[in-house]
A and B are shown apart, each in its own frame.
Chain A
Amino acid sequence: MELLQKLEILADAAKYDAACTSSGLSRSGRPGTIGSTTAGGCCHSFSADGRCISLLKVLMTNVCVYDCQYCVNRRSNDLPRAAFTPRELCELTMGFYRRNYIEGLFLSSAVLRDPDYTTERMIQCLRLLREEYRFGGYIHAKAIPGADPILTRQLGLLADRLSVNIELPSAQSLALLAPDKKKQAILAPMKQIRDGITVSKQELKVYRHAPRFAPAGQSTQMIVGATGESDRQILALTQGLYRTYRLKRVFYSAYMPVSNSPLLPAPQGFQPPLLREHRLYQADWLLRFYHFQAEEILDENQPNLDPRLDPKCGWALRHLEHFPVEVNRADYETLLRVPGIGVKSARRILAARRFGPLNFQGLKQLGVVLKRAQYFITCSGRMERGLRVNPDGLLRHLVALEAPNLAQPEPEQLSLFSTGGAS
């Protein structure tokens, strides 16, 4: 089989993985090697669905012994199958990397024969890349649940970031849709990776040349919308993962109908929950950068995020007693809670107000977007001029502001003489 065909098959098989980040590690290039990484990561392109292409995201092989219902590569699915040899994949990565197409390699694999054999093949490829081709770029590798811990450790010494997919937000869903995977089998490598990272960090403090185990941390992803969990459950799980397993990122992937299984939503007429995914990411940001707790964002009375509003606006509307916030006095934490003010804006406000009181004009100059924030702040005790909103009208205003940004269904051309109407 030609390399081009293999690439098409194995990229197609990998595309449902949401993670494509190259962040978390800064490593400058050294003479004799090729490649570097930057802490902020780098997007090399954006595909037609608007997702970033940073890494060469492929599977080692899409031949799988498992039969997970939600997965496009399940054993029972009739698909062309292929496998890269380690040499082929290395050549491809280096060719793409030198031309600056990619920031590194995202290597995942379907389970060929058993988890150990699969991981060994991945290690073989990464070792070739690191040692023979002297590749110093970013490598994200998937740890395969069920593989021997020694192999996972070797994988982590070669890769920059490891991830284990938690796949579905609850053990029940997992038992239903992925009978070959067990919750414990997924959590065990996550725990091992967490401990490995902690130990490696301590060793590096003592010995500069201690081996680096997954220096860019670990991440995970789950499929949203295939099963019935509420947003509240998902956020609680996310928060637990961040706290217990010290993950760098949790990715959400809106379920795409890839299967006719009766256990899953019927593919006919199914709309992937993209807006829900977006809102979950917004809530995830609140957890990571805005000092929010999952319990604050959603509670029993409101188990799901409001699709019309971002979660921070939603929180602010339920807690109007905290507002309006005085921009010239509020501390950093309070400023961060104002809808429309983010980390950068809050920092700029803190810096600029040392030189004199800020007014709304000044805020605009700083680059603070007042679209939403204006309803929640005062400058020297005054609201924005001409702004009269009562608490009841506030929701209406905010929803109206957000509406144009939300994807509308494509307007349909009506025809009097429609012939294909039935199809």
Chain B
Amino acid sequence: MSWTQVSYLYDGSLAGFLTCVFEAYTHREEPADFTPFHQACASFYAQRSIETDQAKAQRVYRSLEGKLGKTGKDWLLRGFLTCLPDRELWLWRFLRLGYQRGPGFTRDLTNPAVCQIHKAVLALNSEAHQFTGFVRFSQLEGVLVGTITPKNRVLPLLRLHFCSRLPQEQFLLYDKAHREALVHTPGKWAILPMEDFQMGQADQEELAYRKMWRSFYHTISIEGRYNPRCRMTHMPKRYWGDMTEFAPPEQEALEE
């Protein structure tokens, strides 16, 4: 008994994806691919456009913990934030497998669907962990402002860390790759889409701290142990662009 293959168009949100899952099961359809509305193009399969329905999404969401177990639910939700190619399709396969086999299926790491999701989630987690360290804030008019360029959507994972660490601060962390921002004021936070963001001018105090940090960074390394490959292993160059210690100092001299 095979289900008809259908290409789904949806709004790209998690609720939208869960609605698709609901629709697939009710109409006994096998999704051939998932495409967000704004990337829609002609498809080999019959296309169906799915309107996000919170009630249906909620029903699927509520089923996750019981059917997939805690780990399965966690991987599914995190999996949605990853940059895995065809991520919705892999998540769909993962979900179906979980519905068929029940909690514990996440330990079957040689299964292709579990393996793919597991690897993608590990990459997401490790990137988020690295960003908890590599984020650099600048203090501009009392607000801490930082930008990052991650591969995965790490902001929801960074939210907990930074909101707990800096409960009294106002801060804004902008994700340049996915064009969204984490905004926090004491007691409140939000992750908002933001098309563009430019960092303002730094004042004297901020410049002084940047200068001191750069100077500390260069002083602390021991010349006799110079090992650039080791540094790149731990901190690949893709992170360097947003980090204060690698920003050229001339830029500040001009501003001063």
- Contact present for A272 and B166 (CB under 8 Å): no
Point out the residues of chain B lying under 8 angstroms from A42, CB to CB. 129, 132-133
Q: Give the size of the chain B interface in residues (CB under 8 angstroms).
A: 54
- Contact present for B235 and A46 (CB under 8 Å): yes
Q: Which one of A3, A15, A98, A274 has the greatest number of beta carbons of chain B within 10 Å?
A: A98
From B110, B208, B215, B226, contact of A48 by CB (8 A):
B226
From B107, B136, B139, contact of A355 by CB (8 A):
B107
From B218, B225, B231, contact of A274 by CB (8 A):
B225
Given that A43-B133, A45-B245, A98-B137 are contacting pairs, would A34 and B221 also be in contact in the complex, using a CB cutoff of 8 Å? no
Q: Which of B93-148 contact A (CB under 8 A)?
A: 107-111, 115, 119, 129, 132-139, 144, 146
Point out the residues of chain B lying under 8 angstroms from A414, CB to CB. none
User: Within 8 Å of chain A (Cβ to Cβ): is B54?
Assistant: no
From B186, B217, B218, B234, contact of A50 by CB (8 A):
B234
- Contact present for A50 and B212 (CB under 8 Å): no
User: Within 8 Å of chain A (Cβ to Cβ): is B26?
Assistant: no
Bound Cα distance from A12 to B230, whole angstroms? 21
From A14, A50, A100, contact of B231 by CB (8 A):
A50
- Contact present for B108 and A11 (CB under 8 Å): no
- Contact present for A256 and B224 (CB under 8 Å): yes
Point out the residues of chain A lying under 8 angstroms from B138, CB to CB. 99
User: Within 8 Å of chain B (Cβ to Cβ): is A96?
Assistant: yes
Q: Which of A57-116 contact B (CB under 8 A)?
A: 57, 92, 95-96, 98-101, 103
- Contact present for B227 and A34 (CB under 8 Å): no
Given that A11-B219, A355-B110 are contacting pairs, would A101 and B168 also be in contact in the complex, using a CB cutoff of 8 Å? no
User: Within 8 Å of chain A (Cβ to Cβ): is B243?
Assistant: yes
User: Within 8 Å of chain B (Cβ to Cβ): is A366?
Assistant: yes
Point out the residues of chain A lying under 8 angstroms from B209, CB to CB. 95-96, 99
Closest to A43 in B: B133
Q: Which of B189-248 contact A (CB under 8 A)?
A: 208-209, 211-213, 215-231, 233-235, 243-245
Point out the residues of chain B lying under 8 angstroms from A48, CB to CB. 218, 221, 226-228, 231
- Contact present for A7 and B212 (CB under 8 Å): yes
- Contact present for A272 and B217 (CB under 8 Å): no
Bound Cα distance from A367 to B119, whole angstroms? 9
- Contact present for A45 and B235 (CB under 8 Å): yes
Point out the residues of chain A lying under 8 angstroms from B167, CB to CB. 29-34
**Per-residue interface assignment for chain B, residues 154 to 169, with 1 indicating a CB less than 8 Å from any chain A CB and 0 otherwise:** 0000000100111111
- Contact present for B107 and A53 (CB under 8 Å): no
Q: Which one of B186, B209, B222, B229 has the greatest number of beta carbons of chain A within 10 Å?
A: B222
Given that A4-B212, A29-B166, A32-B168 are contacting pairs, would A103 and B144 also be in contact in the complex, using a CB cutoff of 8 Å? no
Point out the residues of chain A lying under 8 angstroms from B225, CB to CB. 49-51, 254, 256, 272, 274
User: Within 8 Å of chain B (Cβ to Cβ): is A358?
Assistant: yes
User: Within 8 Å of chain B (Cβ to Cβ): is A35?
Assistant: yes
How far in angstroms is the closest Cβ of chain B from A182?
28
- Contact present for A99 and B169 (CB under 8 Å): no
Closest to B235 in A: A46
User: Within 8 Å of chain B (Cβ to Cβ): is A299?
Assistant: no
How far in angstroms is the closest Cβ of chain A from B121?
13
Majority SS at the chain B contact face: helix
User: Within 8 Å of chain B (Cβ to Cβ): is A332?
Assistant: no
- Contact present for A365 and B168 (CB under 8 Å): no
Bound Cα distance from A49 to B224, whole angstroms? 8
User: Within 8 Å of chain B (Cβ to Cβ): is A381?
Assistant: no
From A12, A45, A272, contact of B134 by CB (8 A):
A45
User: Within 8 Å of chain B (Cβ to Cβ): is A28?
Assistant: yes
Bound Cα distance from A226 to B220, whole angstroms? 21
How far in angstroms is the closest Cβ of chain A from B157?
13
- Contact present for A49 and B226 (CB under 8 Å): yes
- Contact present for A28 and B107 (CB under 8 Å): no
Bound Cα distance from A46 to B221, whole angstroms? 9
Bound Cα distance from A8 to B226, whole angstroms? 19
Given that A50-B227, A256-B222, A355-B107 are contacting pairs, would A98 and B166 also be in contact in the complex, using a CB cutoff of 8 Å? yes
Closest to B169 in A: A98
Given that A15-B220, A28-B164, A100-B146 are contacting pairs, would A43 and B234 also be in contact in the complex, using a CB cutoff of 8 Å? yes
Q: Which one of B134, B220, B233, B244 has the greatest number of beta carbons of chain A within 10 Å?
A: B220
Bound Cα distance from A351 to B244, whole angstroms? 42
Point out the residues of chain B lying under 8 angstroms from A31, CB to CB. 167-168, 186
How far in angstroms is the closest Cβ of chain B from A261?
17
User: Within 8 Å of chain B (Cβ to Cβ): is A52?
Assistant: yes
Closest to B216 in A: A11
Given that A49-B225, A365-B115 are contacting pairs, would A101 and B213 also be in contact in the complex, using a CB cutoff of 8 Å? yes
Point out the residues of chain A lying under 8 angstroms from B135, CB to CB. 100
Q: What are 30 contact pairs spanning A and B, CB under 8 A?
A: A4-B215, A15-B221, A16-B222, A30-B167, A31-B167, A32-B168, A34-B169, A36-B161, A36-B164, A42-B129, A42-B132, A43-B133, A45-B217, A48-B227, A49-B223, A49-B227, A49-B231, A50-B230, A92-B212, A98-B137, A99-B138, A99-B144, A100-B135, A100-B146, A352-B109, A354-B107, A355-B110, A355-B111, A356-B110, A366-B115
Closest 8 CB pairs of A and B: A50-B230, A47-B221, A49-B225, A50-B227, A351-B107, A362-B110, A29-B164, A48-B221
Q: Please give 9 more A-B residue pairs, beta carbons under 8 A apart, in addition to A34-B169, A52-B234, A99-B244.
A: A8-B215, A8-B219, A11-B220, A34-B165, A47-B217, A53-B217, A99-B136, A99-B137, A256-B225
